[in-house]
Structures are given as structure tokens and as C-alpha cells.
């Protein structure tokens, strides 16, 4: 296709999208057109991490002072404990809700811990370099860690022993329902599937849209999609790519144009648990949830006065979203997502 025609089409789409954002950004603070469903009050410092369990029975939140609260779905507290002296960076339930995996941030290092919800036993399984991401396998036997130095490690949950280690990966996670199969991704789009039992591997290259080096690549939970953050003609852009067909979506541009910060294309987006929705936060803290199958359809818009954690989580069936709120950001609010079931 003629490059000039492609650039013209992208430019036209960008201005249409920006016009939509401007119109929606005039909405009042809070959930656009909806009231809060449940308010979670109990933290004494800003909430920095949150998640729903896979069956929506529980919610976990972590805060700046290292405190973790596990809530029932109705907003009452089930457990409350100090997970660390440092900020909580992420929280994840095991599939059966018996374990909680969480990451703690220190200035020069990170910790990964597992808390047994049934016995209240707390174990540290990793202490080392700052971490980009952590995932617990579905069978609760392994954890995969990707560090800021792009080292990928798979650790045994019980012993903490490293059973797999490779370098130069920016993302890694286990295949759904196949805990012995690990998928890794490099910044150049090389996806490798590893069989951890035999240490065998097969690789294929995914055709990334930008010609230049991307700022961030995020793999969807089902490993079939990539969200790529990069710059197009000096402007921050997010592209969603199908890893099977190599087909990509229309680009999502930063509403602030060339002034949009690199952080927006590096951290402020994520996939829903079922990989059908895409959540991103714009520079003015407006939150959008898009149906990937419908391209640019905006399903949800929220304009909170502030948002401490980078991207709000959705529950398992995409009907609820959890946001930090309050003057001190130590309250979490759950909103119903309109038109989520489509």
C-alpha cells in the first residue's frame, strides 16, 4: 500500500479519535452516567494495586504502606494484614482463591511473596532486582518473574528453587490450563513457547507494526494478542495485534498529541482477564474500556479526580471495574460497567 495513503488514513483516524476524547472528557468527575456500586474503606494509605478473584467472590487491594486487604464481594473485610514495609506493586489470586501472590517495591529491589488465605502463612519466594511482572501458574506450583533487567525466571512455589532462567525477555506467562508451558516475548516480537518439563522450545516472530523499537509490549492472558506502545511521527500510540493472523487494530493515539508522556504508552494499559476487552488510561486520567472485536467502540468512560494505580482491573466477566478514590486515595470504588456483555 502507498505509504502516503497509509499516513493520511492514520492521520484522519487520529483526529476523529481526538474529537471523541474531547467530547467525552467534559463528563463530570466519577463514573460517566453511573453511580458507585460498592465502596471499600479500610486502607490507611493510597491504594496502589487491586484485583478480582476469577470467580468474583473476593477482591484484593494493596497500598503504599505495604498493607493488603482481602474483601468479600459485598465489600466486607475477610482478611487484613501487613504484607511488607514497602509499596505493594501487584496482587493476584490463585485459581481456587487459596493463595494470594503479591509483589512489593523497594527503591533498589523487589520482593515476591505468597500468602496462604486459608492458613495465614506468609512466604517470600523472591528477593532481588526490580520486577516488571509476576504470574502464578494455574496449578499453583510455579511463578514466572520478569525483572527490569529482562531476566525471566520460573520458580518453584514450595522450595523457591529456580527451574528455568533465560534473558532478554520483556514479558512471560504460562499458557492457560497448561502450567508446564511458558510463553516468552522479546522486544522485537519473537514469541517462544517453552515446555518446562523437557526444556524444549519453539519460536516464531510476530510482525510488529512500528518500524522503530517499541516502548512496551503487553501479552494478553490467552497469549493471542499483543498491545504495543510506541511512537508514530513523534506521538504516543498503542496498537493491538493478533499474534495468530498478524492483523492489527486501528491505532489508539494519546489525546495530548506530541506532549503525551512516554509513561502512557509504557504502563497505562492492560487486557481484561478473558482477553476480549482492552483498558487504557489517557494522560488526563480518563479511563476507557474497549471491545477489541468492535475496534474503536468506547464502552466505559470514567474521569476520576486522580488514580493511584496505573490501570484499573476488570472482574472476570467484564461487568465491574475497580478504581482508587477519596482525598487520600485510600478508598476503592467498584463501578458497574455498562454494555459489558455484548
pLDDT tens digit sequence for 77-91? 999 999 888 899 899
Residue 148 vs residues 95, 163, 297, 315: alpha-carbon distances, Å: 27, 20, 34, 28
Lowest mean pLDDT among 89-103, 133-147, 252-266: 252-266
Question: Higher pLDDT residue, 236 or 297?
Answer: 236
Residue 11 vs residues 36, 232, 284: alpha-carbon distances, Å: 37, 10, 21
Q: Which three cell numbers stand for residue 150?
A: 529482562
Q: Which three cell numbers stand for residue 260?
A: 503525551
Check if the beta carbon of residue 295 is closer than 8 Å to that of residue 250.
yes
Q: Is the pLDDT of residue 262 over 60?
A: no
> What is the rounded average pLDDT of the residues 8-27?
42
Lowest mean pLDDT among 24-33, 155-164, 186-195, 333-342: 24-33
Question: At a CB cut-off of 8 Å and minimum separation 6, what does 79 contact?
Answer: 68, 69, 70, 117, 120
> What is the rounded average pLDDT of the residues 147-175?
90
Q: Which three cell numbers stand for residue 256?
A: 495530548
Q: Is the pLDDT of residue 34 over 60?
A: no
> What is the rounded average pLDDT of the residues 217-237?
79
The rounded distance, in Å, linking the Cα atoms of 313 and 319 is 11
Q: What is the pLDDT of residue 103?
A: 92
What is the average pLDDT value for the chain, to the nearest integer? 77
Among 206-210, 235-239, 262-266, 305-309, the range of highest mean pLDDT: 235-239
Cell 507494526 sits on residue: 209
When pLDDT is cut at 50, 70 and 90, the band that residue 14 belongs to is very low
CB count, 10 Å around CB of 197? 8
Which of 301, 305, 304, 256 lies closest to 280 in space, CA to CA? 301
When pLDDT is cut at 50, 70 and 90, the band that residue 29 belongs to is very low
> What is the rounded average pLDDT of the residues 113-120?
93
Q: What is the pLDDT of residue 58?
A: 96
Tell me the Ramachandran region of residue 207: left when phi exceeds 0, alpha when psi lies from -120 to 50, beta otherwise: beta
SS3 content of the chain, % helix, strand, coil (to 5): 10, 50, 40
Amino acid at each position: 500500500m502507498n505509504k502516503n495513503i497509509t499516513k493520511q488514513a492514520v492521520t484522519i483516524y487520529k483526529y476523529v479519535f481526538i474529537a471523541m476524547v474531547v467530547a467525552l472528557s467534559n463528563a463530570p468527575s466519577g463514573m460517566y452516567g453511573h453511580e458507585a456500586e460498592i465502596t471499600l474503606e479500610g486502607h490507611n494509605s493510597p491504594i496502589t494495586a487491586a484485583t478480582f478473584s476469577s470467580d468474583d467472590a473476593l477482591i484484593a487491594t494493596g497500598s503504599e504502606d505495604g498493607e493488603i486487604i482481602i474483601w468479600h464481594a459485598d465489600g466486607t473485610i475477610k482478611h487484613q494484614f501487613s504484607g511488607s514495609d514497602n509499596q505493594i506493586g501487584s496482587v493476584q489470586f490463585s485459581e481456587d482463591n487459596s493463595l494470594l501472590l503479591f509483589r512489593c517495591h523497594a527503591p533498589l529491589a523487589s520482593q515476591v511473596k505468597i500468602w496462604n488465605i486459608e492458613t495465614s502463612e506468609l512466604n517470600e519466594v523472591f528477593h532481588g532486582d526490580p520486577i516488571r511482572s509476576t504470574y502464578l501458574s494455574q496449578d499453583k506450583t510455579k511463578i514466572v518473574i520478569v525483572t527490569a533487567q529482562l531476566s525471566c525466571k520460573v520458580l518453584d512455589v514450595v522450595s523457591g528453587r529456580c527451574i528455568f532462567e533465560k534473558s532478554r525477555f520483556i514479558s512471560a506467562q504460562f499458557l492457560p490450563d497448561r502450567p508446564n508451558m511458558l510463553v516468552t516475548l522479546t522486544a522485537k516480537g519473537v514469541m517462544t513457547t517453552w515446555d518446562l518439563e523437557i526444556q524444549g522450545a519453539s519460536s516464531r516472530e510476530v510482525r510488529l507494526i512500528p518500524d522503530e523499537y517499541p516502548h512496551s509490549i503487553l501479552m494478553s492472558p490467552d497469549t493471542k494478542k499483543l498491545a504495543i506502545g510506541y511512537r508514530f511521527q513523534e506521538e504516543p500510540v498503542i496498537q493491538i495485534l493478533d499474534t495468530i493472523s498478524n492483523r492489527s487494530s486501528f491505532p489508539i493515539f494519546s489525546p495530548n498529541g506530541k506532549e503525551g508522556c512516554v509513561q502512557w504508552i509504557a504502563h497505562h494499559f492492560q487486557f481484561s482477564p478473558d482477553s476480549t476487552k482492552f483498558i487504557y488510561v489517557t494522560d488526563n486520567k480518563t479511563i476507557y474500556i474497549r471491545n477489541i472485536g468492535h475496534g474503536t467502540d468506547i464502552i466505559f468512560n470514567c474521569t476520576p479526580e486522580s488514580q493511584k494505580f496505573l490501570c484499573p482491573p476488570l472482574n472476570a466477566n467484564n461487568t465491574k471495574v475497580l478504581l482508587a478514590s477519596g482525598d487520600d486515595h485510600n478508598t476503592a470504588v467498584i463501578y458497574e460497567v455498562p454494555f459489558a456483555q455484548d
